[in-house]
Amino acid sequence: MTVSEFSFELFPTKTDVPEFGVSGPRAGQFHTPHGSVLTPAFMPVATQASVKGLSPEEVRAVGAEIVLSNAYHLYLRPGVSTVHNMGGVQEFMGWNGPVLTDSGGFQAFSMGALRKIDDDGINFRSHIDGSAHFLSPKLATQNQLDLGTDILMCLDQCISFGASREEVVAAMERTHRWAEMCHQHHADSGLAKRQALFGIVQGGTFEDLRDASTRFIADIPFQGYAIGGLAVGESKDQMYRTTEQVASRLPQDKPRYLMGVGSPEDLVECVARGIDMFDCVLPTRVGRNGAIFTKSGRVDITKTRFLEQREPVEQDCDCYGCRNYSAAYVCHLFRAKELLGARLASIHNLRFILRLMANMREAIWEGTFEEFRREFHENYVPTSEAARQEQKEKWLRARGA
């Protein structure tokens, strides 16, 4: 079926009394001119029109129906006009499915001293060559329209966890003003029905600010709504609480997207709270460093114990790596610093996440999600909170944020 407009539908499911009331788990599908996507969905991150180390065919083979690219990075290199002249981002990267683009707001947040934000937009210097640039809400929207993406994100101001209430209020109010500008430019473009625009809720972990931001953003008739400003240093409990709060107050007939979240346990818990869409670099980033997702938790494939394992990393996994290679071989590849090791780990981790999403959709359809959720937590041991916070802080320090 070929469609010319963005649309979203929720599927009827068997009875499953949700723990979280109106923000309980839900299954649906959204349609775009480049294809349809079943929800809950996970979007592999193709920041620069490429999922690191993998071909589009490999990304499709692991079960991905949509990928995320970043308009900020494509604006800097190779340039929006280059991608546009090549037929749009899908044709440029050889991906035969929908693409969502982030506007660049998070990149501005993570650039630290290289940027300055005011009500008009973001002044920044390229991390590539130091050249000066200015990104306004209107330009951020037009860039994404010109890239030809199916889902555009409003320009927003993300802020780090631990910022003062005054800083969070200022960033939230600026996000609101920018959301109105993005929506107006999108509406005036003549492409609004074909290329959807999502608004972003901010407000930190302040309950009253999140309520205020949700009301403001939900009053603008976006085609979908995102929850931003999480997974930036807050605890998991704070993230879950804020996600539940915002999801329960967003329109029921529009998709809900939790930005930048991708740990398996977080996906399960946030689907339980009514989230439809996720993205995160985590599966491929940790994979390139030898961390492999399994049903019982993450394992370090470089450990000596795997050098004697004839079986695959996970015996019931149907990914290309587990179907063809032993854990001993993958361990050897990492120890020998062969690129194939990082590729196989990335393929495995993405397949693990996308199978998890498919299993959750099936459990929602069948009315057995709470049973699925309970069994998942009985088997899966997450990375410790202390280790997670240390990794996040190291990542933020490296970017001067």
Domains within the chain, CATH numbers bracketed: 7-286 (3.20.20.105), 288-379 (no CATH)
Catalytic pick from 16, 150, 156, 279? 279
Beta bridge partners of 122: 117, 135
pLDDT of residue 19: 59
Catalytic pick from 16, 102, 150, 156? 102
DSSP state of 78: T
pLDDT of residue 383: 85
Compute the distance between CA of residue 111 and CA of residue 116 in angstroms, rounded to an integer.
10
Q: Where are the alpha helices (DSSP H) in 189-280?
A: 207-218, 236-247, 264-272
Beta bridge partners of 99: 67
Instruction: Locate 397 and state its tokens.
Output: 């320090």
What is the bridge-based pairing of β-strands 224-227 and 151-153?
unpaired
Strand ranges, E, within 44-106: 67-70, 99-102
Beta bridge partners of 39: 28
Q: How does 20-44 read in b/e, with b if 16+ C-beta sit within 10 Å?
A: beebbbbbbbbbbbbbbbbbbbbbb
Compute the distance between CA of residue 64 and CA of residue 86 in angstroms, rounded to an integer.
23
pLDDT of residue 401: 45
CA distances from 330 to 14, 66, 209 (A): 42, 28, 47
Query: Is residue 318 among the annotated active site residues?
Result: no
Contact criterion met (CB below 8 Å) for 123 and 134: yes
Compute the distance between CA of residue 37 and CA of residue 70 in angstroms, rounded to an integer.
19
- One-letter amino acid of 190: G
Within a 10 A sphere around the Cβ of 366, how many other Cβ atoms?
Answer: 13
Burial of 45 (0-12, 13-18, 19+ CB in 10 A): buried
CA distances from 345 to 78, 164, 265, 383 (A): 28, 39, 19, 17
Q: For the chain, which residues score pLDDT lower than 50? A: 395, 399, 401
Contact criterion met (CB below 8 Å) for 124 and 131: no
pLDDT of residue 2: 66
**Nearest-CA neighbor of 292 among 314, 268, 307, 262?**
314
| Rg value, the chain, Cα | 20
CA dihedral 135, 141, 142, 144 (to 10 degrees): 100
- One-letter amino acid of 121: G
Report the Cα 77 to chain-centroid distance in Å. Answer: 21
pLDDT of residue 399: 46
Q: Which residues have CB under 8 Å from 289's CB, separation 6+?
A: none
Q: Which residues have CB under 8 Å from 146's CB, separation 6+?
A: 80, 81, 83, 84
Compute the distance between CA of residue 313 and CA of residue 164 in angstroms, rounded to an integer.
45
Query: Is residue 102 among the annotated active site residues?
Result: yes
Polymer length of the chain: 401
- Please write the tens of the pLDDT for every residue from 202-230: 999 999 999 999 999 999 999 999 999 99
